[in-house]
Structure 1
């Protein structure tokens, strides 16, 4: 199913007029052949002196200080544009990640106590023991960032490998997993595909064993009942199967087509999507976060739609 050309243009116009400059730059990079330098320029505005990111780059919490979760959001953008390891924004980020990991657990704190001092969604509220709700989200992916952008054998790469090993131990022992954490592991494996020989010789399980386990967990958490897709925040097929090279693509080819049609049906007149969640708190602040998320969601979904030939 193809997105109509006029719909595509309406979406781009809405993003340029209403989204954050970061999303407008990402849209330009992905769909209008503009430079990645613009993306890095606007992304850098969210970076702090310690190399981490904050300032509401993840719009559901507005903590200005650096946090691992906000840094994960920035790292995903840097991965998407293929940022060079020598970029200052990347090098500073790696320093923050190396300094903020809990080497004993291999995790990064997903929620910080300071979150509570700023507008935030309830799931970003800090309390004692909250890390157990998040575990290796986003740590599995952050470990991958350190491996991906650091020279082989360097201190930062070694930190990444050690954290990745603990993440692998966790996933292999898991019988079920939240889809956000599953997504983190999928991204870790995409990075490790380029390091498979070392993975197989240093990790407690082979790359293929871990891949099979992650795909089983992915399969389990996809919402397969189409009647449930519009009832709340559910993990749809396209949330976890992002291109035709994905190991589960053939199995879910028909459901993916249904998901594409669902996306088209759910579009607003502006060619964007309303987000399927709300805070229930900070009523004067949530509309701002909602608008930011609409821009993020539009860019992310169009990227996936293009990967399946619908744009």
Structure 2
């Protein structure tokens, strides 16, 4: 649902998109877990369907590994509730306060996906509220990004352009590092014609086999859109 909303926010002036968004927000209202003050990444029923290992729900704890980090996907979801307040019955202001307190309490940053969720929240907030998150986000981003091009190629790490997707917001990332990441992606596209995941294809067998090609398409499209935003390609 959160991934769908990542795309729908760019078309939310269209009536058809508004209808889908309103149903998505209703679903999020219904799946809100008050004891958690947020959402779980997946329901327990995920175990009944093909899924990557890291999405498996621990039957005893009743959560998956992603749920160790509260902000993923909760922080991002709060951003959508903020943008589409007319569709939710939840106390959005309290949820924003909860997210702010959580982020400010963090002394170490272990999940770049969690911080990506906070970045998406940040981009959906009004300027005054976003400004309160900025110092901690800058600290988190610069702690988590890898500057090593070899790691970009072989390891599952946060790259600069995972956080910086347009020239409007660089956080604390050095512009030379951004340019290095841009050139890395251009070289990958010129050499291979696509951007492949750094995780192994072996995770996807049986009914999951087509997921690898789908991820290639998702990652490649994302990179092309980032390069377009920096004026490096014309689409």
- TM-score bracket, normalised by the shorter chain, equals 0.7 to 0.9
Q: Which residue of 2 aligns with 1:172?
A: 104
Tell me the distance in 2 between the aligned counterparts of 1:183 and 1:81.
Answer: 21
Runs (4+) off by over 6 Å: none
**Paired residue for 1:65?**
none
Contact 2:155–2:199 (CA under 8 A) maintained in structure 1: yes
State the Cα distance separating 1:84 from its structure 2 match.
4.7
Q: Return 5+ residue gaps in structure 2 as ranges.
A: none
1:266 to 179, 188, 192: 188
Per the TM alignment, residue 83 of structure 1 is displaced from its structure 2 partner at its CA by: 4.7
1:149 aligns with one of 54, 66, 84? 84
Per-residue CA deviations over 1:283-302 (Å, capped at 9, x if unaligned) read 22343001111111121111
RMSD across aligned C-alpha pairs, in angstroms? 2.3
Say if 2:41 and 2:67, in contact at 8 Å, map to a contact too.
Answer: no
Does the 8 Å CA contact 1:103/1:163 hold for their aligned counterparts? no
Q: Scaled by the length of structure 1, what TM-score is found?
A: 0.67
Aligned match of 1:102: 33
Asked if the contact 1:243–1:307 (Cα under 8 Å) also holds between the matched residues in 2, the reply is: yes
1:240 equivalent to 2:163? Answer yes
* Larger RCO (CA under 8 A, 6+ residues apart): 1
- Determine whether 1:297 maps to 2:230: no
CA distance in 2, matches of 1:121, 1:83: 35
**Residues 163-210 of structure 1, C-alpha deviations (whole Å, 9 max, x = no match):** 22212111110122311111111111111125x3xx4xxxxxxx4332
Check if 1:138 corresponds to 2:60. Answer: no
Partner Cα distance (1:135, 1:258) in 2: 32
3-state SS, counterpart of residue 154 of structure 2: coil
Q: Which runs of 5+ in 1 are unaligned?
A: 1-70, 200-206
- What's the counterpart of residue 275 of structure 1? 197
- Residue deviations 1:217-243, cap 9 Å, x none? 111101012232212211010011111
How has the CA–CA distance of structure 1 residues 268 and 288 changed in structure 2, closer, same or farther, with 3 Å as cutoff?
farther
1:72 corresponds to 2:14: no
Deviations 1:244-285 (A, max 9, x none): 111426x42111111111112223766221111136445223
Other-structure match for 1:119: 50
Q: Which residue of 2 aligns with 1:189?
A: 122
Q: Distance in 1 between matches of 2:185 and 2:139?
A: 25
Q: Distance in 2 between matches of 1:290 and 1:268?
A: 21
Q: What TM-score, normalized to structure 2?
A: 0.87
Q: Measure, in 2, the Cα distance between the counterparts of 1:242 and 1:136.
A: 20
Q: CA offset at residue 116 of structure 1? A: 1.0
Instruction: Give, in whole Å, the separation in 2 of the partners of 1:124 and 1:221.
Output: 22
